[in-house]
Structure 1
Amino acid sequence: MNPVPTAPADLRRSLADHLRSTGAIKSDQWYEAFAAVPREAFVRAFAVGSQHGPVHLTPEDPRWLSTVYTDDALLTRFDAAGVPTSSSTLPTLMALMLEALDVADGNRVLEVATGTGYNAALLSHRAGDENVTTIEVDPDLARSAEQRLDRAGYRPTVLVGDGRAGHPDGGPYDRLIATCGFTGIPPTWLEQVVPGGIIVCPVGGGVVRLVVRKGGTATGAFLPDAAFFMPVRGIGDNGTPPVPPPLPHSCSSRPCFVEPTDLLDDGIHFLLTLAVPRAMSRFTYDDAGDIAAVHLWQPDGAWAELRHGIARQAGPRRILDTVETAVAAHKAAGRPPRERYRLRVDAGRQWVSVADSDGPTWELS
């Protein structure tokens, strides 16, 4: 029996072996990056999720180092209410996205959302410090990440700013990767990535890989794996209210063929993250513990409740009308997986559709 690795270098190699065995890593270059870059240098204190809530670990805990090298997302920052606001991404997902980025020698790379700095270190190991620029909206996170990168021996360009604007002064870029969640591709990115360049970005509940074309257009498909990232933030962003708004005084009511349990289907849920962007949902349960209803709401005040086949809606848009169209299209297309969905960006507008389908398209915002 092989001994369980305990030294950092052995743990790094073990994680890289795991990522290669699952197919997340396919190239020698990314294998060597994961085997070389010390994840523990970027996540000194963190929490991991459990059925009883987050478990917080520090270097003083004997479980700390081994947990650093598990294939888990590590929560590294929380707001005053205890909601996670920054994390070190699941290594499998990091590897899948980096492989999809297809970095070649000499490529200039822009990373949006520096976070802990671990992903920037992996990029620097592969592409070279001089070819990597990373941008972070939170000045404290950017400063801490730059210090961690420096101590680990990596010196990419670390900037403070809104990643949605990119960094035109450092372009053009051959590759752009984002590590926070978006509802669509910022058009400015297409101006900063060369024709033939690649953008890898979390959109909705998935990750899209786009190839940029001349004239500010881009097309691509989603990766097959689910992905849920911290949402992109700008200065002063308030985001979606975390709890449903008060019940409107007046709302429309009609029959609806969608059942609340339909929203538990992974394929439907993925499509709804695109068709109903920035929506929050909450299920309520009956005395027997079964789902009785689902509430949906958006930042602009749109509100919906689906209960026993009855849709109630209010606000500036009818959320459940869109939900019905999406559910019907998903079923009519044979419940397609993520990789059958395509994203096209053209003239500042962008649409998602199912490949080889005459069904509807959904315009992203």
Structure 2
Amino acid sequence: MTLTSEQEGRAGDELARSLLETGALTPEWAQTFRAVPRKLFLPDLIWAHDMATGRSVPLSRNDDPEGWARAAYANVPLVIQWDDGKHTGTAPGTVPTSSASMPSVVAAMLRDLDVSDGMRVLEVGTGTGWNSGLLAHRLGSANVVSVEIDGAVTEQARGALKRAGLSPEVIHGDGADGWAHGAPYDRVIVTAGVRAVPPHWLEQTRPGGIILAPWGTHYSDQDALIRLTMGKDGSATGPFLRMVEFMKLRDQRLDWNRFRDHVPEFPGNADVSSTPVTLADLGDRYESVRFAMGLRVPDCAHVVNRSDAGTGKAWFFDLTSRSWAAAVFRSGEPEATVYQSGPRRLWDEVEAAYRWWVSRGKPEHTRFGLTITPEGQRAWLDEPADSWPL
């Protein structure tokens, strides 16, 4: 059974209405959302991602057209590619590498992009082509350039856009390079998580222009949406708006295999100490303390192996040397045991960062921001003047 045109129309209207009620979708974008439905850009096989359980459920347009269509109009993320295209079959792959974002996330990012008629936009990460299709409908196809690193995804997006009657320029290339031939841009919107803002994006954005991107550190897998405004001096600065979750730029993914030789044996000759900091103090997946710690402890990756709420082992690895640290927490014990090895005292930095965060009133991620220059990145709290290098 398939949904009738009337049923799809109602589903589209209901989605737009719900997004308008939450404020994710603004009236300026409502007509475009109804005119350019996500359904037009989805392949025959998709995986609907359940945010609560983390499970991805395959849906085939051929085998279950009604379920496929309902997912297309639902406010859920849909995976369209696993393992950089190496995956086959209907079962979920190992790592999702291309997706159609939740409509609420897409709408809110377009709202924050703050476009107006005549603006030129560069999109990094074409994916399904839906986002560039929305931009092209609103601004005109000639004003939109989108860059996608995956060749198969690029061709799929081009075909979907053509069938939708839209023709933004879709480039097969590395989004980190931007697209100089179409510069300067009034807006740059990035649909992949970044750990460093590439200098090409700054070079290709006009003074006063906006760069909107999910940004985070290797300390955790968290991203927060940064809204950078370009200055006349070639730098860009701006605040974090809210937490988001995106697949990372391919050349900025964290390869955990690089840490295999950091700890040849545990604890080995590591220095041993103790700390009153608890496992809960380090924060959970969506808590701002983890984001803040990443800003204060640069070039560090960490992972926590939990047994229960108060028991577990937290690992910390230096990205530039073979220094490492581990903190072993046990429920009911007043202090954790800390092991540190190498020239960099990683746990000392982590504990100092936590105490700094507490001393500043436990600031949420929205109190932080970034300043980007051709020379590098600086993070700040409340004001760019209170900044430090990353």
What TM-score results when the alignment is normalised by the length of structure 2?
Answer: 0.83
* Runs of 4+ residues deviating >6 angstroms: none
Once residues 94 and 339 of structure 2 are traced to their aligned partners in structure 1, the CA distance between those partners, rounded to angstroms, is: 32
SS of the counterpart of 1:106? coil
**What's the counterpart of residue 273 of structure 2?**
254
Offset of 1:257 from its aligned partner?
A: 4.1
Q: Does 1:159 align with 2:159?
A: no
Sort the Cα spacing of 1:129 and 1:66 in 2 relative to 1 into closer, same or farther, 3 A.
same
Once residues 173 and 99 of structure 2 are traced to their aligned partners in structure 1, the CA distance between those partners, rounded to angstroms, is: 19
Once residues 152 and 300 of structure 2 are traced to their aligned partners in structure 1, the CA distance between those partners, rounded to angstroms, is: 26
**What's the counterpart of residue 267 of structure 1?**
288
Sort the Cα spacing of 1:313 and 1:13 in 2 relative to 1 into closer, same or farther, 3 A.
farther
Which amino acid counterpart does residue 260 of structure 1 have in structure 2?
Answer: L
Sort the Cα spacing of 1:268 and 1:197 in 2 relative to 1 into closer, same or farther, 3 A.
same
Q: Does 1:16 align with 2:16?
A: yes
Query: How many residue pairs end up in the alignment?
Result: 354
SS of the counterpart of 1:207? strand
Q: Percent identity?
A: 35
Which amino acid counterpart does residue 194 of structure 1 have in structure 2?
Answer: R
Once residues 15 and 315 of structure 1 are traced to their aligned partners in structure 2, the CA distance between those partners, rounded to angstroms, is: 53
Instruction: Summarize the alignment of residues 1-365 of structure 1 with structure 2, pairs less than 5 Å apart.
Output: 7-26=7-26, 28-44=27-43, 45-50=45-50, 51=53, 53-59=55-61, 60-61=63-64, 62-79=66-83, 80=87, 82-204=94-216, 205-223=223-241, 225-234=242-251, 239-241=254-256, 245=260, 247-249=263-265, 250-265=269-284, 266-275=287-296, 276=298, 279-285=301-307, 290-297=310-317, 300=320, 301-308=322-329, 309-314=336-341, 317-355=344-382, 361-364=387-390
Residues 217, 346 of structure 1: 8 Å contact kept = yes
Residues 296, 319 of structure 1: 8 Å contact kept = yes
Once residues 32 and 47 of structure 1 are traced to their aligned partners in structure 2, the CA distance between those partners, rounded to angstroms, is: 27
Which amino acid counterpart does residue 311 of structure 2 have in structure 1?
Answer: I
Residues 176, 200 of structure 1: 8 Å contact kept = yes
Which deviations, in whole Å up to 9, do the C-alpha atoms of 1:232-265 show, x marking residues without a partner? Answer: 113xx77322796363344333333432222334
SS of the counterpart of 1:216? coil
Residues 240, 298 of structure 1: 8 Å contact kept = no
Offset of 1:294 from its aligned partner?
A: 1.8
Offset of 1:54 from its aligned partner?
A: 1.7
Sort the Cα spacing of 1:122 and 1:319 in 2 relative to 1 into closer, same or farther, 3 A.
farther
Which ranges of structure 2 fall in alignment gaps of 5 or more residues? 88-92, 217-222, 330-335
Q: CA RMSD in A?
A: 2.6
Which amino acid counterpart does residue 190 of structure 1 have in structure 2?
Answer: L
Offset of 1:299 from its aligned partner?
A: 5.3
Rg larger for = 2
**What's the counterpart of residue 90 of structure 2?**
none
Which ranges of structure 1 fall in alignment gaps of 5 or more residues? none
SS of the counterpart of 2:30? helix
Sort the Cα spacing of 1:325 and 1:76 in 2 relative to 1 into closer, same or farther, 3 A.
farther
Sort the Cα spacing of 1:230 and 1:316 in 2 relative to 1 into closer, same or farther, 3 A.
farther
Residues 281, 297 of structure 1: 8 Å contact kept = no
Which amino acid counterpart does residue 73 of structure 1 have in structure 2?
Answer: P
Offset of 1:55 from its aligned partner?
A: 1.1
Once residues 152 and 322 of structure 1 are traced to their aligned partners in structure 2, the CA distance between those partners, rounded to angstroms, is: 52
Once residues 380 and 362 of structure 2 are traced to their aligned partners in structure 1, the CA distance between those partners, rounded to angstroms, is: 13
